[in-house]
């Protein structure tokens, strides 16, 4: 017998499943953050050029990767919602947006803090920085557009279009350092491997995993509140033990 995947795309079943998964993701994220930050700030050696300043990379790169990847996931959910008319997909897209915006902001903020001592400027209008700023605006635009339409189903459709259109920006961010002359250096993590010392790599990948797990935990928690809010008039919600009490 085939597994019915659509069963878990129903808010009714997903609500409980998400509730059970959140503590696992949150707990493992916290552990990996502690381990990763310890390796990054205590174990990993100083850099030959940048000394201790380079350590901001352990926050900067995972945040940047997450900001781009979460946008693609959000756009994929938005597209699924448009195509299959599933309720949960659109809710997932709405739940991802604030976390994606947060990571885009952290990426820009840590980048500025890093740029001033190393490059000599907080901000430069080069292709990498500008396209990442556009990504932050796309997230904020998505959130604002969704909030400005009262009917949730219409809000889902309008903001889904924006999310899908904006996904064109993600490859531009990724390849910007290759296609144009930029002040931003090339990618350290490439498909062919990394140009980084082993302990530095470990710290970065562990924090990347921690950010992933954090993002999943937070998005699941947020999607649960969205489900509660949108389905508040249904019987299954009114029969939930936490709602009844």
Q: Which residues in this chain contact other proteins in the complex, by CB under 8 A?
A: 45-50, 54, 57, 79, 82-85, 117-121, 124-127, 164-165, 167-168, 172, 179-183, 185-188, 195-197, 200
**Three-class DSSP category at 234:** coil
Closer Cβ to other proteins, 49 or 233, answer by number: 49
Q: What minimum distance in Å lies between the beta carbon of 120 and other proteins?
A: 3
Closer Cβ to other proteins, 31 or 43, answer by number: 43
Closer Cβ to other proteins, 120 or 241, answer by number: 120
Q: What minimum distance in Å lies between the beta carbon of 83 and other proteins?
A: 5
Q: What minimum distance in Å lies between the beta carbon of 118 and other proteins?
A: 6
Query: Quick one: how far is CA 114 from the chain centroid?
Result: 21
How far, in Å, CA of 64 to CA of 128, rounded?
Answer: 11
Closer Cβ to other proteins, 148 or 188, answer by number: 188
Torsion of CA 39, 44, 49, 53, to 10 degrees: 30
Q: How many CB atoms lie within 10 A of CB 61?
A: 22
CA dist list (Å): 100 to 27, 116, 158: 20, 25, 19
């Amino acid at each position: 017998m085939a597994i019915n995947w659509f069963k878990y795309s129903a808010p009714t079943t997903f609500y409980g499943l998400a509730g059970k998964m959140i503590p696992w993701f949150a707990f493992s994220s916290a552990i990996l953050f502690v381990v990763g930050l310890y390796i990054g700030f205590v174990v990993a050696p100083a850099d030959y050029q940048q000394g201790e300043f380079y350590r901001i990379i352990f926050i900067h790169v995972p945040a940047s990767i997450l900001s781009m990847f979460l946008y693609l996931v959000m756009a994929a959910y938005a597209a699924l919602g448009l195509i299959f008319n599933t309720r949960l997909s659109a809710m997932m897209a709405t739940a991802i947006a604030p976390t994606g915006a947060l990571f885009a902001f952290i990426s820009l903020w840590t980048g500025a803090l890093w740029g001033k001592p190393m490059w000599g400027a907080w901000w430069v209008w080069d292709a990498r920085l500008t396209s990442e700023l556009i990504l932050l605006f796309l997230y904020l635009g998505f959130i604002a557009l969704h909030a400005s339409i009262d009917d949730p189903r219409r809000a889902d459709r309008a903001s889904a279009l924006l999310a899908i259109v904006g996904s064109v920006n993600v490859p531009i961010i990724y390849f910007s350092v290759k296609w144009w002359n930029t002040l931003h250096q090339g990618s350290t993590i490439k498909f062919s491997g990394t140009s980084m010392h082993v302990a530095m790599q470990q710290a970065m990948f562990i924090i990347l995993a921690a950010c992933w797990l954090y993002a999943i935990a937070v998005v699941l928690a947020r999607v649960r509140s969205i489900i509660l809010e949108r389905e508040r008039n249904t019987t299954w919600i009114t029969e939930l033990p936490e709602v009844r009490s």
